[in-house]
Structure 1
Amino acid sequence: MDAKMMAPKAVLMVAIAIATLTGCETTKPLYHYGSYQTNVYEHFKNEDSAVTEQIEALEKTIRETNRNKLQVGPGLYAHLGFLYLQSGQRDTGLAYLQKEKQLYPESTHFIDFLLKNAKAGQS
């Protein structure tokens, strides 16, 4: 092959490589969970763990999520509401459960179940 025929092929190969590499952009995650998974694990692993510490960690995750303009992951508000109910802060707990239900309608049946149990526990 002569140099004149190799030049267009080389240019084409470089162009394909550049197009391929620039097309590999990482996608932004849909939801932000922060320390949520760690908190849930700690809660169920060690029932003596301080509920207030878990609440603070989840509240911090929500603040970080809002500051970074991300969406809080499904389940986080529900777990936070559950923790508030456990700590005796009923109104705050119910508000977070309602927020979970509002943001994630697919959780309606489960949240309604939790709300029903929370109201039954009040009687």
Structure 2
Amino acid sequence: MIISRLKALAVLISSIFLVACVSTTDTIYKWEGYQKNVYQHFRGDKSPAEQTQSMQADLEKIRASGKATPPGYQAHLGLLYGQQGNLDQFAAQIQAEKNQFPESEKFMDFLLRKFKKDEVKQ
């Protein structure tokens, strides 16, 4: 009797453990190659133009899937555009990040002001 209860308890604990370890891939965000692109950016493995092209292609896939871009995606893409001197695309991506994540507004506004200030200096 005690052994059968111990077995039942072991099965119950194992089941709880297995359920807790299950990770779902169904998230509200679609990441595509975002993390890899950020890593390559900081390592200097790809030029800003190559990263922009890769991230823009991933952005189209994300939009086609109907999922949302993850936090920071459009801001990073905007910074890549800014590094290439494409300030219209920079501003558009920063604004899109700000619209999607209102909590980022102060930082996104700071970036917009910084790039405008740098543009005036040149």
AA aligned opposite 1:62 = L
Equivalent residue for 1:35? 33
Q: Which runs of 5+ in 1 are unaligned?
A: 1-20
Equivalent-residue separation in structure 2 for 1:111 and 1:68 (angstroms): 26
Show the counterpart of 1:5: none
Which of structures 1 and 2 has the bigger CA Rg?
1
User: What is aligned with 1:111?
Assistant: 108
Q: Write out per-residue CA displacement over residues 52-72 of structure 1, whole angstroms, 9 at most, x where no aligned residue.
A: 110011111111111111111
- Once the two structures are superposed, residues 67-86 of structure 1 have per-residue CA deviations (whole angstroms, 9 ceiling, x without a partner) of 11111111000000000000
Structure 1 residue runs of 4 or more that deviate by more than 2 Å after TM superposition: 24-27
Query: Structure 1 length normalisation: TM-score?
Result: 0.75
Matched, 1:53 2:50: yes
Number of matched residues? 100
- Aligned alpha-carbon RMSD (Å): 1.9
The aligned runs of 1:1-123 (5 Å cut-off) are 26=24, 28-46=26-44, 49-123=46-120
